Amino acid sequence: MLILGIESSCDETGVALVRDGHEVISNALASQAEVHARFGGVVPEVAARQQLMAFIPVLEVALAQAGVDWNGIDAVAATYGPGLAGPLLVGLTAAKSIAFARGLTFLGVNHLEAHLYANWLHRQGEPHHAPHFPVLSLLVSGAHSELIVIREHGRYALLGQTRDDAAGEAFDKVARMLGLSYPGGPSIQRSAATWPIDQPLPVKVPRAWLRGTNDFSFSGVKTYIANLLRNPDHPPIAAIAAAFQEAIVDVLATKTVAAAKAIGAAEVVLAGGVAANVALRERLESDLRRLHISLRAPRIEWCTDNAAMIAGAAYYHLRRGESSDLSLDVLPSLALPLAQA
């Protein structure tokens, strides 16, 4: 089954073609160079109106990359929430219009659920290894810090989430405080790596454990570092970056491992831009190995917002015979069901 997926929940416009929920035939984003070239310039990052302009060129790129025409497509899927109402409306309306005009099956997809399905994706010609249930997903990005369990296709639940700032947001904001570049994840990682490994850190950043819950809190870390920097005799930037990264990784890894144990996870999967953090991957890999739980992370282009994950997730609904009515509206505050205690 070849599915056309559309993602427009925030500031990315994406269109992708994915076969049977795993094989990515094409995956186009408005930020891609070839799309910029069609515009004769850079696509402005944040704007629903701009998304409206970006949609058709991105769709054309996705179809051209795949080398298929409309007759080869079996269904159309689009994000209907959570996200920003304006941008969501662009993608969802486009999907419904295509489905109506072509007489195709249409499905609205939950953006959070779709992030999970990035771990089912592979490129054409590469082998397909589906994760084993139950899967625990740590979704960490500028917008998310969530622990989600997926027990079988279509049965997933939110175990925990951030109560204030997302992990990626903490990286970005602390990087700004430290005078490091944007995005904060890579720049803090680089700065932290310059601190000599054999030298003890002259600063320890406190962790918010929120014991008894699977929730996270990263706002206090930011405040702690802001206070630290008010003292002119503060430790070197590299030491603060290393201590900060250590604190974030410690909390993310400890809570993920505890949750994996609690639900009896067969596999832990990462999603979101923070999945690229080397310290996080190494720490999780070594902690999970002891429990004989494997760790996997999607390619980075499937970690951040993209349409391939939308088309991927849609497949597992469509094959059960599910579809959405063309009257489906955007749901900006759409959530995942909470896990039953």
Partner 1 sequence: MTEANWEQRSASVARTRAIGQRLGAAARPGDILLLIGELGAGKTALTQGLARGLDIGEVVNSPTFTLLKEHRSGRVPLYHFDLYRIERASELIDLGFGEYFGGDGVAVVEWADRVANEIFGSDWLQATITTPNNHGRIIHWRAQGQRAEEWLTATREPL
Binding site for partner 1 (CB under 8 A): 10, 46-50, 82-87, 141-143, 161-166, 168-169, 172-173, 176-177, 215, 219, 222-223, 226-227, 230, 332-333, 335
Of the candidates 112, 104, 124, the one whose C-alpha atom is nearest the C-alpha of residue 3 is 104
Of the candidates 3, 7, 74, 59, the one whose C-alpha atom is nearest the C-alpha of residue 302 is 7
The residue written with tokens 């010609």 in the block is 125
Closest to partner 1 by CB, 166 vs 237, is 166
Contacts by residues 195-200 (CB-CB < 8 Å, ≥ 24 positions apart) = 195/236, 195/238, 195/239, 195/241, 195/242
Q: Please report how close the Cβ of residue 143 comes to partner 1 at its closest, in angstroms.
A: 4
| Strands, sheet with 23-29, edge to edge from the N-terminal-most edge strand | 105-110, 75-81, 2-7, 14-19, 23-29, 122-123
| Residues in contact with 44: Cβ distance below 8 Å, sequence separation at least 6, in sequence order | 50
Q: Please report how close the Cβ of residue 169 comes to partner 1 at its closest, in angstroms.
A: 5
Q: Please report how close the Cβ of residue 133 comes to partner 1 at its closest, in angstroms.
A: 26
Q: Please report how close the Cβ of residue 185 comes to partner 1 at its closest, in angstroms.
A: 13
Closest to partner 1 by CB, 160 vs 298, is 160
Q: Please report how close the Cβ of residue 240 comes to partner 1 at its closest, in angstroms.
A: 14
Closest to partner 1 by CB, 22 vs 173, is 173
Phi-psi region for residue 292, left (φ > 0), alpha (ψ -120 to 50) or beta?
left
Closest to partner 1 by CB, 176 vs 289, is 176
Closest to partner 1 by CB, 99 vs 166, is 166
Within 10 Å of residue 286's Cβ, how many Cβ atoms? Answer: 11
Q: Please report how close the Cβ of residue 333 comes to partner 1 at its closest, in angstroms.
A: 5
The 3-state DSSP class for residue 322 equals: coil
Closest to partner 1 by CB, 11 vs 23, is 11
